[in-house]
A and B are shown apart, each in its own frame.
Chain A
Amino acid sequence: MTRYAELQAASNFSFLRGASHPGELVFGADALGMEAIGICDRNSLAGVVRAWSEMQRRREAGSTIRALTGCRLDFEDGTPSLLVYPSDREAYGRLTRLLTLGQRRAEKGECHLRWTDFLDHAQGQLALVVPPDRLDAKFEADLRRISGELPDVWLAAARRYGARDLQRLARLQGLAQAHGAPMVAVNDVLYHGPERRALQDVLTCIREGCTIHEAGLRLQANAERHLKSPEEMARLFARFPGAVERSVEIAGRIGFDLSQLRYEYPDEPVPPGKTAIQHLHDLAWEGAAWRFPAGVPERERKTIEHELHLIEKLDFPNYFLTVHDIVRWAREQGILCQGRGSAANSLVCFCLGITAVDPTKPGQDLLFSRFISETRGEPPDIDVDFEHERREEVMQYVYDRYGRDRAAIVATVIHYRPRMAIRQVGKALGLTEDITAALANTVWGSYGDGVPDAHIRQTGLDPDAPEIRRATALAQELLGFPRHLSQHVGGYVLTKRRLDETVPIGNAAMPDRTFIEWDKDDIDALGLMKVDVLALGMLTALKKSFDLLGIADVAEIPQEEPGVYEMLSKADSVGVFQVESRAQMSMLPRMRPSTFYDLVIEVAIVRPGPIQGDMVHPYLRRREGKEQVEYPSPAPEHGRADELESILKKTLGVPLFQEQAMRIAIEAAKFSDSEADGLRRSMATFRHYGSVGEYGVKFVEGMVARGYDPAFAQRCFQQIEGFGSYGFPESHAISFALLVYASAWVKWKRPDVFCVALLNSQPMGFYQPAQLVRDAREHGVEVRPPDVLASEWDCALEEPGRGLGPERDPLRVVRLGFRQIKGFKKEDADLIVQARQAGAATLQEIALASGVNRRALELLAEADAFASLGLSRRDALWAVKGLSTDIRAQKEAPLLARQSLKEAQVMLPFMSAPQEVAEDYRTTSLSLKAHPMTFFREELARIGAVPCAALAGMRDRRRVSAGGIVLVRQRPGTAKGVVFLTLEDETGIANVVVWRDVFEANRRTVMGASFLVVHGQLQKEGEVVHLVAERFTDLSPRLGAMRDDEGPAPQVRSNVTGRLIRSRDFH
């Protein structure tokens, strides 16, 4: 039997060259019976981990294929390209250092290498010289030089079915013999199978920026650059004995495997004389004493001991010390943070202060030993969220502490998504810009499964037209291909030895940022240590709330306050973390949460996973007592009837969490641990491979075989698939629920504080300042406009106002800050505050003393911020415009300044109330004077529209009309073409549902209107009220009329859209 190892294969991480995923190449090589395959991407190791992971999977299936780690080095000094394979760990480290060197000196995404660089790192490398197209004297000289300087050199020879292949190979063999670089057969692979030729040609066109019709000789002449079987290779190289066998010889000399990179954790500094685990012991028990002031209960004590034992056994103490150190540092700086992730479910993390979740709390039952199995051998996973405005400080701390040579951000592989794929493929196929744009526009959202024919037809194109079909088919193939690497938002990899000896590090687009070539899945697969330093807006808002309330930490918030749950049960949740969305708001009155765990479920249930898996309604029916809680069970001969009860009891028999799905796989479908792990991984990497389907069959069959209802099994799996794209494990839900409770508590206790904290943390969350302010006012908070004599940059609390909190304590007045004024800068705000403190009290004094430029003063005037000086908007603007353009010069010559003020008095027209409101919206996105709809109430009444607030009191199924400003438009992927609108008028909001056919018939109005009256039927379910739209009256142009004076307006042909605010559209 012939043996062969392919040593020259480019994956799609050779961007726009290779046309197969690394995994496909390894799979294909295995299927053809190759001994090994080396993925050699250009100056990059970005794809090697994926190849290696596929190898692990093949081996689990009994294969002996090897995925060799190597890369193709392209030099900028004219040296022929080399295929380089490190023979051992040390040589591998030299290779990654070499690539780091080349990447660091180049722009992002490039690598500049010279021959001498390679020589410095050549020890232990096996090198194959890639001959150029033309075998000239220069190449011969280069080959002589290379083989003279390196001990292990081969000459890679490929048969590409060119006209003079054999002649070329004979010449290569001559050169090989002459220069002691034996010839080895390769196939210079670009894709795993010949059917990828078309895609490879398209990639070439994208790379060259040409169409397929212009590409000419830049394309490959044939489809021969696919993987070939050892027998075929032997036939092709029959005249060159030894060439094919030599590939196996070389592969045999490669002693390096990526598994050798495992567990190279950094050692944390520990007090002298102690080991890491001893130090962790001390910290954990110290923390336990802090968490359990009344003494650590027996059960908790045992758990801690068990966890510490496990941590020691798996050699993770350093990891926990690292996370603890980062969290401790952030705490010291007063930065709010919170950990989550599987390992965060440990009592040790609770004691170390990494999380605020006590996993031993009754009903939570989250002992982490269940999720960190000894056999799985993967690193623990802890993500830490920090205040979004201060995360950068934490990141700098990590760099400072570990040094740039041991800490770096991991990569995010940017994949081709439908829009981009169709656009670039269309362009390469020579479709015109308008057709590709139309095709791309049929894709809603950034994810999606290609382009359905119906959508194409909608754009007026024929999906069966050959060019269109070809474009969509090729775009489909291109989906999921990597496009480029980008830096991850906050995932750090930390290593014991120099990081650049583990993975190449390149420059990011941001100056002074570097990131490694691997993404977090790669890091996971290899078992390297990763810490996620993430940013969360709500933590910023909470921190600001706590500062105003004099609270230090989430832990100080009183638990299980009934008022908080009452508030949430009424869907009074504007601004509250996670549960403020429209979907969450309509769920809250049905869920009627009354305990913390209800919030955990609330967070987890309104997710695409459970929704797609149709888990929501059964859960609600059971919760409301309308349906019996029952647990499907296997046939009696297959096991205990209650095997699912223990897993599903807390969610009333309905699987809602990822962990439950995993446990069902193990308990009910009898997955082995490694299969369950594979399932979990395929879920995490769902978007890259889609191999989750393989597990689906096994899962359903496994359950059915044991006597489960096939429909139930199918539903369980559907949910798992849903998790694939939007995973939400219970541990995350608990961490988030903590923030839900904390933010809801602040909102309930002190709506004034809540309002200020949210406004000062913008942009974040679901609502715009106008809705936050409105909500605060509805809770009795008095809000005052930005004013030059009272405001600072941030919104602030003033003296107690008339409103009262839940415990009859007076709420304070909220003063909007200058930050609400669009275009106004913080530096100018600070200058004005300083000027005020120095005694400036008139417009002129403020202008002179602050020295801000006139544009800043104009912005203040236009925002009506001089009202306390008795200046109307127009008067203030007139006065500001009248100041000399060079205020600084005036400052130096005040006499002159005063003189210039003597000028003819001008009477400007009075501004009407609607105009004032329109101007408020234009400058600050909100108005405290009136809601715009108040000016249209009569008109609305004439049309027959009732105030939005009146809808709640009407009976179900009543025909009714309501109108308002369009706040939000949503077209969720899970809702099958249904559009949700949120309208707002002066009385409240109306939730509108537009079914698909009504939407398609009124698309223009629904998507474009800013002021809309909806005629339809009321639909009530408990406290949830929807208006199901049937017809629309678009009043958008009327909003523009608000800006007009009374009397006949001049004819203006302009592009005024009448829009006061921009709706938040999610499409």
Chain B
Amino acid sequence: MEPGSGRDDSDKACPFALVENVRGARRLAAVSLEAARLRLWPGQKVTDAVAVVPDLLTAEAEPEKDAEALSALVDWCVRFSPAVAADAPDGLFLDVGGVAHLFGGEAEMLADFQGRLAANGLPFRCTIADTPGAAWALAHYGADGTIAPPAGQGELIAPLPPAALRLDPDAAAQIERLGLRRIGQLMELPRAPLARRFGQATLDRLDQALGRTKEALTFRRPPTPWVARLAFFEPISAPEDLARVAHDVTAKLCERLEREGQGARKFEVCFHRVDGKALPVAVGLSLPGRDAARVAKLFAPKLETVDPGFGIDVVTIAAFEVEPVSGRQVKLDARKDAAVEDGLAPLVDRLANRLGEDRVWRAVPVESHVPELSVGRAPALNDKPCDQSSWDPEAPRPVRLFRRPEPVEDVLALTPDDPPRQFRWRGRLHRVSRAEGPERLGEEWWKREIEEVSAAHVRDYYRVEDADGQRFWLFRAGLYDPREPAKWWLHGLFG
């Protein structure tokens, strides 16, 4: 089985290619069927390809993502046979020995398989043969959907080119150069001279395809994840039962987590209904945890959404973002802040799970010259106490920064950029006794329309103190321009 190289989904007419860096040169890594039809090929230089097909759409090749997708497909295939082996980058082997009868025979199984793949929109080619080698050869070079009769693969692969044997590309090229263009010709050659010239590996590949030697495939076994499962004799459906089993299955997993010194940031309980439908419910923690009671409490409000239908016969739980956590501090002489942390975390978790995850946060510095953008939101509880980068003490910012600057009037200031002597804010006149500034901040030109960008678009900020000792953060918008009265704003208050 081999998914094809087509990855175009939305626009069929547009040639598309994935691009990678090969020793400093940008080359195509894979091309869509459309692009292949325009004679682009993997390995071609991008500049050459674009010279030929200027409207070629490209995207960066992501081999890791491809591998992930392939392994997901491998996992999916387990429904057909437990023995699945990935054949990177774009193929997989399925050992159907002994399982085909479950589907009513090889032909029926293949049809079912093809149907399901097609339903998922995956281009593919698949064949069945006695040996992985023959199946590979037929899938890559033979007719799609071929089912080789038992012990009949030799005849079927004989007309295929030697490259179909999964040979080392150099050897395959040289074999073809000798005029040996079909596997059949190779089969007829005396074995010793062939091995002498092209190595035992070449003979092995031939023998593997023909079933003369066995080929060991590495079947994928999913790594033991952090999962637990409870099955019931009688389907359950009462809400309190759901809550109970959720707690039980959580406890089962948490016990294991505790035993192995791990904690998780995310738990997902899945209720499997008798009709085959699965209903997942997930909760998140701000710190890795394994306190079953605490986790179960977080699940409780969410169970209302679970519709048990005709009943639930299995419940599973999986933990994610698992990482080691030290043993729990419970002693009286534990350090105080640890206790605070302990006390804070459940509160934050309860708030977050009730109000929504994005509602509980902590303010952190963001690198920006624009005052209102220099504050960001971070998770309420962070492993790292606070980021090293903090606000610059040389550029003081008010304790209270207004969301919107408020206009001020009656400003008296010497041009072009002396601090104001007085200003009126919310109806009250303030006389400035001390002032510092201006701190000139330019606009973020890249966010403006090009025509609107101007070096005159600045804010001149002043820190001023009035006669009462109140401190304000004022700014004048725009560079001094004698033709226009200056506009002044109050943007924040210091203590």
Contacts and interface: CB of A to CB of B under 8 A. Distances in A.
Interface of A: 133-134, 161-167, 194-195, 197-198, 201, 212-213, 215-224, 429, 433-434, 437-438, 441, 458-460, 466, 469-470, 473, 858, 862, 873-874, 877-878, 881-882, 903-904, 906, 908-911, 919, 1003-1004, 1007-1008, 1036, 1045, 1049-1055, 1057, 1065, 1067
Nearest to A458: B54
Nearest to B457: A223
A1049 B142 CA distance: 13
Contacts of B438: 161
B453 A163 contact: no
B445 A222 contact: no
B43 interface: yes
A165 B439 CA distance: 8
A909 B445 contact: no
Given A877-B178, A1045-B179, 10 more contacts: A163-B437, A167-B436, A222-B441, A433-B60, A437-B50, A458-B54, A466-B450, A877-B174, A881-B197, A1057-B41
A902 B462 CA distance: 98
A879 to B, nearest CB: 10
B59 interface: yes
A1005 to B, nearest CB: 9
Interface string B416-432: 00000000000000000
Nearest to A213: B446
A216 B160 contact: no
8 contacts: A164-B436, A219-B369, A223-B442, A433-B60, A877-B174, A882-B196, A1004-B53, A1055-B43
B38 interface: yes
B42 interface: yes
B366 A216 contact: yes
B90 to A, nearest CB: 13
A905 to B, nearest CB: 9
Given A161-B440, A213-B446, A217-B369, A908 B178 contact: yes
B340 interface: no
Contact of A1055 (B42, B440, B461): B42
B320 interface: no
Contact of A874 (B160, B178, B182, B453): B178
Contacts of A219: 369
Given A163-B439, A904-B193, A221 B179 contact: no
Interface string B189-223: 11011001110000000000000000000000000
B440 A222 contact: yes
A1052 B142 CA distance: 9
A441 B439 contact: no
Interface in B453-478: 453, 455, 458, 460-461, 463
Considering the complex of A and B, which 10 residue pairs feature the smallest CB-CB distances, nearest first? A216-B367, A161-B440, A909-B179, A194-B455, A881-B197, A163-B439, A1055-B41, A1008-B52, A222-B442, A904-B190
B450 A470 contact: yes
B453 to A, nearest CB: 7
B180 interface: yes
A194 B454 CA distance: 9
Contacts of A459: 54-55
Contacts of B197: 878, 881-882
Interface stretch (B72-80, B93-101, B392-400): B392-400
A761 B395 CA distance: 67
B102 interface: no
A459 B14 CA distance: 12
B437 to A, nearest CB: 7
A881 B192 CA distance: 13
A194 B455 CA distance: 6
Interface in B30-74: 38-39, 41-43, 46-47, 50-55, 57-60
A1008 B394 CA distance: 61
B-side interface size class: 35 or more
A197 B455 contact: yes
Contacts of A212: 446
Nearest to B60: A433
B190 A906 contact: yes
Contacts of B179: 874, 908-911, 1045
Nearest to A878: B178
B59 A466 contact: no
A217 B450 contact: no
Interface of B: 26, 38-39, 41-43, 46-47, 50-55, 57-60, 140-142, 159-161, 163, 174, 177-182, 185, 189-190, 192-193, 196-198, 366-369, 392, 394-396, 436-442, 445-446, 449-450, 453, 455, 458, 460-461, 463
Interface centre among B185, B439, B442 (most CB of A within 10 A): B442
A219 to B, nearest CB: 7
Nearest to A198: B445
B134 to A, nearest CB: 15
Given A161-B440, A437-B58, A1003-B54, A1052 B161 contact: yes
A1036 B39 CA distance: 10
Given A163-B395, A221-B369, A429 B446 contact: yes
A467 to B, nearest CB: 9
Contacts of B198: 881
Interface centre among B181, B185, B441 (most CB of A within 10 A): B181
Contacts of A1008: 39, 51-52
A441 B446 CA distance: 24
Contact of B436 (A163, A213, A1052): A163
A1045 B41 CA distance: 24
Contact of B442 (A197, A910, A1067): A197
Contact of B39 (A194, A195, A216, A1057): A1057
Contact of A909 (B180, B193, B440): B180
Contact of A904 (B192, B437, B442, B446): B192
A167 B393 CA distance: 13
Given A161-B439, A217-B367, A1045 B181 contact: yes
A903 B58 contact: no
A1045 B180 CA distance: 10
B89 to A, nearest CB: 15
B472 to A, nearest CB: 14
Contact of A162 (B42, B161, B439, B463): B439
Contacts of A1051: 141-142, 160
Given A164-B436, A881-B197, A903-B193, A197 B54 contact: no
Contacts of B193: 882, 903-904, 906
A45 B179 CA distance: 65
A163 B460 CA distance: 9
Interface centre among A429, A874, A919, A1008 (most CB of B within 10 A): A1008
B449 to A, nearest CB: 6
Interface centre among A195, A878, A919 (most CB of B within 10 A): A878
A441 B54 contact: yes
A875 B42 CA distance: 33
A873 B53 CA distance: 38
Contacts of A469: 450
A209 to B, nearest CB: 15
Contacts of A194: 455
A922 B160 CA distance: 24
Contacts of A161: 438-440, 460
Nearest to A1004: B52
A161 B57 CA distance: 46
A162 B369 CA distance: 11
A632 B334 CA distance: 103
A162 B394 contact: yes
B436 A166 contact: yes
Given A162-B394, A217-B392, A903-B193, A1050 B46 contact: no
B62 to A, nearest CB: 12
A536 B109 CA distance: 70
B345 to A, nearest CB: 31
B53 to A, nearest CB: 6
Given A163-B394, A195-B455, A1053 B450 contact: no
A1053 B140 CA distance: 8
